[in-house]
Each structure stands twice: as C-alpha cells, then as structure tokens.
Amino acid sequence: MNQQNLADFIWNVADALRGPFKPSLYGRIILPFTVLRRLECVLEPTRDAVRAQHAALAGTGVDLDLVLPNVAGATFYNTSQFSLGTLGSTATRANLEEYLSRFSANARQIFEHFGFDNWLVKLEQANLLYLITQKFSGIDLHPNVLSNHDMGLVFEHLIRKFAEAANDDAGEYFTPRDVVRLVTSLVFATDHAALNGQGVVRTVYDCAAGTGGFLSSAIEQVAEWNPDAKLVPYAQELNPETYAISVADKLIQGYDVRNLKLGNTLSDDQLPGERFDYCLANPPFGVKWEMVQKLVNAEHTGQGYAGRFGPGLPRVGDGSLLFLMHLLSKRKPVEQGGTRIGIVLSGSPLFNGGAGSGESEIRRWILENDWLEAIVALPTDLFYNTGIGTYVWVLSNHKAPARHGKVQLIDASGQHSPMRKSLGSKRKTIAQAQIDAIARWHDDLADGPHSKLFDTTDFGYRRITVERPLRLRFEVTADALKAYAEAKGSDQVERFIALAGRGAFDSLDAFLAAAGVKKLGKATRKAVLDIFGTRDPAAQPVTDTDGQPLADADLREFENVPLKQDIRDYFAREVLPHVPDAWIDEGKTDPKDGAVGIVGYEINFNRYFYTYVPPRPLEVIDSELRSVEAEIAALLSEVTR
C-alpha cells in the first residue's frame, strides 16, 4: 500500500465520525490518532523490555529518561500496560488517558499540542471512542512497513484533505517534495566537506517548519549523498497541530526535539543565540504581520542592525522579507564556515516598494553585503494552495570567489512535468532530471537562455527628482479680486484693482510692474501666485526672490538612473532632449551615501528573460476568422432547418 492509498484508508475511518462531527473537524481526531499509532508501532518491538526495566527501576530514584530510551531503542518510550488494541470497551477513555500519560515527556507534549484530551471526551460522548481506537489499532504503521519519508507524505496528504474539508490553506503547512529537493540541491551542493567527509555534523534550521517535511527531506538527501554525514535539525513553527506532527516525526527519526520550538518566529525568536550551517524555509506567501507589528516595530527601532530587522520593514500586507531577514540573522561568521540559505518566496519581494521603501532597503542591504547568490524562477502550479509564480532565493555569506559581487538568475519556469492527478492547485511537478538540469545551470555559472549572471549593482538605481519651471500667466478678474481680498496676507488690493480688464500678463515681473508693486511679502506672494496665476506653458518661468525658477509640482517627474551610470550624463541624454528647461533637484540626496538621488534596488526578473514574440500575420488571423465564421454558419443552418 503506497502512502496516498494508506492516507485514503486512514481518512476513510472518518466515515465512523459522520453525523456527530462536522467534516471540518475530522482531521482534529484523525491526525493525533495517526501519530499515536505510528509511535506505538515504533515502540512495539521493545515494549515488553521497557516495561520490565521500568518495573526493575521502581523506587530507585533513577532518572528514567537516562535509561529507558536506550531500552526502547528510540528517543522516547512508554511504560503503560495498554496499547490501542487492549484499551477495552468499558473504560476506554480512562485507559487511553493512562496510556498517553505514560509516554515520556517529549512524546506526551505532542498530544497536549493537539488538545487530544478534549477530543477524547467528545468521542466518548458520541459513543465512538472505542470504535475509533479499534480501527486505528488495525493499521500497521511500523517503520519497516512505512518509511519515515513515506510517513511524512501520509501526514501531508491527511493535512491537505483536512484543509480541503475545512476550506483552509493546507499549503501553508508543507512544501511539495519536488520543490524541497530542488532547494536542498542548490543549498547543499557546494558543501563538499559535508558531502564527502566522514563524521561531519551540520545544523539546519527552518523558521516556518510546518510539519517538518522540509527538514526531513534535507536530512534524507544529505544521508543519501553521504551516509557518514549528520544533519541536526532546528525549527520553529506557529501552528500547534503541525508542530506536534513535526515533533513526532523527529522523535521517530531519533532527534532531540528540544531544538524544535513552538511560537511566532517574527515576534518571539525562541532560538535567539543559535547560528546554523544551513537555513531552509517556505514561509506563507503574502502573509500579513499586523498581529505582531508592534513587537516587530519595537525591535526595528530599538535594536536597529543589532536586531533582526535593522535594514527596514516591508509593508504590513506581506511579511516575506521579514522571514528572510530573520534567516540572515542566523548566519554563522565566515571564519566558522558561514551559512547557506534557501528560501521560497513569491514574486513581490523582488520588486515591491520604490527607492527608499522598506522592501528596497532590505534588498539593498542584501545586495550591498553580497549575500545573494542566485534566484531561480519556478514553474507555476507547483503548490497545493496557489498557482502563482514562485522563486527560490539562494543566499550565502561565504560565496565562492567566482561569485563575488555577482548574482545569478535562472529561469526554470519551463522545467516541469504534468502530474497524473492534480492535488489542489498543484498540477505540475519538477522531475529529478529537471532538478539536475537546474542544478547544473547553477554550477556552471554560464550565460545562456536559462541562466544569466549580473553584478550586484546591476539591480540598483538612483531615483532622481526632475523639476520643471512653474509657468504662469497672470490676470485680474472679478472673482480673483474677491478671493485675493479674502486671502491671508493679501495687501495692496487697490493696485491690483487697476489691472482688472487689462488682459493677461505672461510673466510675474510684468504683472507686478503694471500694478506698480515693487516688493511682495511671503504670504502676499503666495496669494498672488495661487489666485491671479494660471498655468500656461507659453508663459515665462516664475522665479523666487533670488531669481531662481520655481518648480512646478504638477510637472515633477522621477527618473531611475542605473547605479553604473552618471546621473548627469543620463539626464543630458534621456531628459533634456525632451524637456530642455528641466533640472535635477540636487537637494534630494540619499541618506546613506549622501549623493544626489535616492538609491533603490529591484530585481525585475521577467525583464532579463523576456523574448519578443512577433504577432501573427494579419492574413493568417483573417483566414482563421473566416474559418470560424463558416463553422458558425454551418451550425446555425443545422439549427434552423
């Protein structure tokens, strides 16, 4: 029985819940029972030995956690006399609660996070508890029958089915394994010591771990490449139920689950002093962070670059770049080997936000520190809950010499295979041969149709402010006189009355001279410009008291000048030929480098891989239209016979 058939079999147990429980609640019962049965099957071979050793240690004061895991052959144990098959039909809940309480603390917490006790009460009230326990006791989930990898897929399949029933977003809790395989291949491939050495230990961290599938696949891949290497997982997850599955998965694999934390990564980093060799993550796309906005803002303003969010903050509607900055805060110093990061993001972090915005400043921080190694554009329809385009960012603070100052963009959007059966929005998969091809493009560092290499500065620009003079004609009308007389700071009204009916003047100087006004106060000058002036491109520029032209805010424009170009050369070449009276506002300078223009960074991925496809010839289109018209006419003739 493969993992999907087994998951369907387990899910069919839900038929017994029909009636007393809504379909949206099935998963709350099925998932913890599945975990319980898996743990029971893992411990089954050593159950009697553990009970005997536990009885022998009674009253000795020996710490059971130091002895019994070795007897159990696992990192957890259970000392109860019960199993799912022996709970009995008369005191089922009491016996099951006793069974759960006899797990070691690291396993017992799993059921606490599921809130399992409450569901046992509800099942008992519905007279279904004994029936459900008996159904699960007959499912063989022993590791010899179902590998950890396949068990992980079973959990993911069940979560997806549960989410569909509850109209929830299953894709927030796990990443498709083909995407995981690609990310880990790109992140691990350069660490030759881990892949080839003996007794090598590396740490890997996922800040939005879900069910822990990303970490499990990473561990499997490193073991596949080098059985003598060990990958130690660390994680944090927000959702208690998916966290419980992750803990169960890692317990069965023999890992210390104290490295797995429950809580909101953005507001409460529970591994603050830890640094890791690898970081992997697929945070929720477009997640809003308004619930933690106060705490994130406090860290940004209070700690600056000493905290995680020094460069800036993205808009509240999308916290993807917060997760990226968090991962970068976990990097090891270069002298300790540095850190490689793989994170899956939507397209918005590439270009959202103009120069000076939080998003742009985060990209600037990453690129100016030369941490971005590559970005890979993935095919659409890869994820269970969305069909949007996604991207893998690969970052490192110890890039290979050939990559210093460089960023590689890889267009892998065409590297996919159709799925035999769609799973939610997932209609495509990346086959292993396609993963290998993408990895080769990454390794080769060559320019080509699918891979292009850029300097980090190629993505930067200066936003300069282009001003044009304010050109006004001046005319005194009855309505303007009334408005001027009521305006703040107006004076010499009688002098302007004399200009009523005299027509329009194309300059302020001529207008004031005709009125006999030699000097205007600040407030009066503003009133004259606002009330008597009307924009006219044929009029003379209005100047300030120093004789400098005033800028027309309505004509203000911004130009993004590539960092590698001189702004004045660019201005002379691209702007002045079209608007000869324009000038650069040199008072608008970048707060960091002090030069004219605000620095911004964006990665417009599609621009670099755009291929022009000419439209079809008109005769071809006309021919197709005539063919369709003929077909429609034939169909109509059949209807009207």
Q: For residue range 394-415, what is the model confidence (pLDDT) as tens digits?
A: 999 999 999 999 999 999 999 9
Shared domain check, 234 and 88: no
User: For the residues of 371-382, what is the DSSP string, one character each?
Assistant: -EEEEEEPPSS-
Asked whether residue 193 carries a pLDDT value surpassing 80, the answer given is no
Shared domain check, 180 and 117: no
Residue 613 lies in a domain: no
Shared domain check, 289 and 394: yes
User: For the residues of 65-113, what is the DSSP string, one character each?
Assistant: HHHHHHHHTSS--B--S--GGGS-SSSHHHHHHHHHHTB-HHHHHHHHH
Q: How many structural domains are present in the chain?
A: 3
Residue 188 lies in a domain: yes
Asked whether residue 192 carries a pLDDT value surpassing 90, the answer given is no
Residue 619 lies in a domain: no
Between β-strands 583-584 and 460-467, what pairing exists: parallel, antiparallel or unpaired? Answer: antiparallel
- Decide: 175 and 214 in contact? Cβ < 8 Å: yes
Distances in Å between the Cα of 58 and the Cα atoms of 23, 53, 62, 79, 615 are: 45, 9, 8, 12, 84
Instruction: Show the 3-state SS of 44-61.
Output: HHHHHHHHHHHHHHCCCC
Shared domain check, 337 and 273: yes
- Helices 508-515, 522-532: crossing angle, 10 deg rounding: 110
DSSP state at residue 448 = S
Q: Which are the contacts of 230, defined by CB distance < 8 A and separation ≥ 6?
A: 199, 200, 201, 202
When computed from its CA atoms, the radius of gyration of the chain, rounded to whole angstroms, is: 34
Residue 107 lies in a domain: yes
Residue 408 lies in a domain: yes
Asked whether residue 587 carries a pLDDT value surpassing 60, the answer given is yes
Shared domain check, 437 and 479: no
Shared domain check, 504 and 396: no
Distances in Å between the Cα of 323 and the Cα atoms of 127, 284, 316, 328 are: 45, 10, 13, 9
Q: What is the pLDDT of residue 585?
A: 96
Sheet containing 372-377: order of strands? 260-262, 230-237, 201-206, 278-281, 340-346, 390-396, 372-377, 406-411, 451-455
User: For the residues of 355-418, what is the DSSP string, one character each?
Assistant: TTSHHHHHHHHHHHTT-EEEEEEPPSS-SSS--S-EEEEEEESS--GGGTTEEEEEE-TT--EE
- Residue 170's pLDDT band (boundaries 50, 70, 90)? very low
Shared domain check, 448 and 340: yes
Residue 594 lies in a domain: no
Shared domain check, 78 and 188: no
Dihedral angle computed from the Cα positions of residues 280, 282, 287 and 290, in that order, rounded to the nearest 10 degrees: -20
Shared domain check, 112 and 227: no
What is the model's pTM? 0.87
Measured in whole angstroms, how far is the alpha carbon of residue 447 from the centre of its chain? 28
Residue 555 lies in a domain: no
Shared domain check, 80 and 203: no
- Residue 492's pLDDT band (boundaries 50, 70, 90)? confident
Residue 255 lies in a domain: yes
Determine which of 44-53, 486-495, 620-629 has the lowest per-residue pLDDT on average.
486-495
Q: What is the residue range of 12's domain?
A: 3-146
Q: What are phi and psi of 599, to 5 degrees?
A: -75, 135
The CATH number of whichever domain residue 434 belongs to comes to 3.40.50.150
Shared domain check, 408 and 517: no
Asked whether residue 169 carries a pLDDT value surpassing 70, the answer given is no
Shared domain check, 490 and 443: no
Residue located via tokens 């402010």: 465
Q: For residue range 236-280, what is the model confidence (pLDDT) as tens digits?
A: 999 998 899 899 989 988 898 999 999 999 999 999 989 999 999
The more confidently predicted of residues 487 and 208 is: 208
Determine which of 54-58, 94-98, 284-288, 473-477 has the lowest per-residue pLDDT on average.
284-288
Asked whether residue 3 carries a pLDDT value surpassing 80, the answer given is no
Average pLDDT, the chain: 91
